[in-house]
Structure 1
Amino acid sequence: MHPNAQTLTRFYTAFAALDADTMATCYAEDATFNDPAFSLQGQREISGMWHMLCAATLAKNRADWRLEFRDVRADDQTGQAHWEAHYRFSVSNRLVHNLIEADFTFNPQGQIASHTDRFDFWRWSRQALGYGGWVLGWAPYFQKQVRVQTRAALANYLARHP
C-alpha cells in the first residue's frame, strides 16, 4: 500500500474511533479543507473542526456514531476515498447517514495538503433538519447560511480551546 494511502487509512481509522488528535497529525500546517459546510485554512482550523465534531459526538451521541470507509487510493500527489458517516445531528437530534467522496493532495512529507469532501447537501439537510432542510436545503443561500453558522461555531470552539 502506498504511504499516502496509509495516511488516509490512519486518518479514517482514527475518525471512526473519534480520535481527533491522530486525525490532526495527518494534515500539513498549511493544509486546506473544503466541504459544503466548512472552508478552512491551516491545520489549526482543520484540527479544531475535527476536535469540535468528535467532542460533540462523544459527549452526546456516541451510541449512534459509525464511520465506514473504502476505496482508499493514493499516489505520490493525490488520493481519494469513499466514506459514510452514521450519526445523530446534535442540533436537531435527527439521525443522518451521509455519503461522502473525498479528494486529497499530499505534500512531499506525506501529509494531507488539501482535503475536499463532496456530498449531496440537500440529501444531508433533509435528514439533519427535517422539513426545513427539505424545503430550503437545495438553495445556495441556505448552504451559505450553514457555512456562516459552522464558521461561528468553530470560532467559538477555538476561542475556548486555544
Structure 2
Amino acid sequence: MTEKRTPDLDPGEMAAVVEEFNGFYIRLPSIQRHSFTTLSVLHTLARRSPMRLGELTATEQVTQSAITQVVTRLENDGLVERRPDPRDGRAVLVHITPAGAEVVAARYADRVARLAPILQRLSAEERSAIAAALPALRRIAELGESQNEQRGRA
C-alpha cells in the first residue's frame, strides 16, 4: 500500500493566498460604515474586551495618539466605554458595549450572507477542501495570537 503524502505547505504561497482572500473579504460590502481601524478595534474588543489602550495600540499597530482618537470616537458613539482598571488605578480598560457588540455581530451576519452565494459557486470538492482546512486555519490564528501576546509581554 502506498502512503499518501501531503505536499509541503509553502509559507509564501499561503501568505499570498491569504492576503488575496483578505483583500476581498475585508471589502465585502457591509451595513455598518466605519473606518477600517475603527472596525478592527471593535472586532478586537469583541474577542478580547476589556483591554488597556497600550494593548490596543500594539494589536492595532497604530500610535498611542491614533488609538486614543479612535477610542474617543467609539466612546462618543456609545460603542465602547472606558472604566478604571481595578488592578491599577492609574490605568483605564476599554470595554465593548452591547451596541458595539451589535455592530460586530451585524457585520458578521452581513458577511456570511454575502459569502454564502460565492461559496455555492465552488465545486463540492472545493467546499470540502476548505471545510477540511478550517481547523488548521483556526489553529494558525490561535498560534499567531499567542505569539503576539508573548511579544507584548516581552
TM-score, L = length of structure 2:
0.30
Q: Which structure shows the higher strand fraction? A: 1
By percentage of residues, which structure has more helix?
Answer: 2
TM-score by length of 1: 0.29
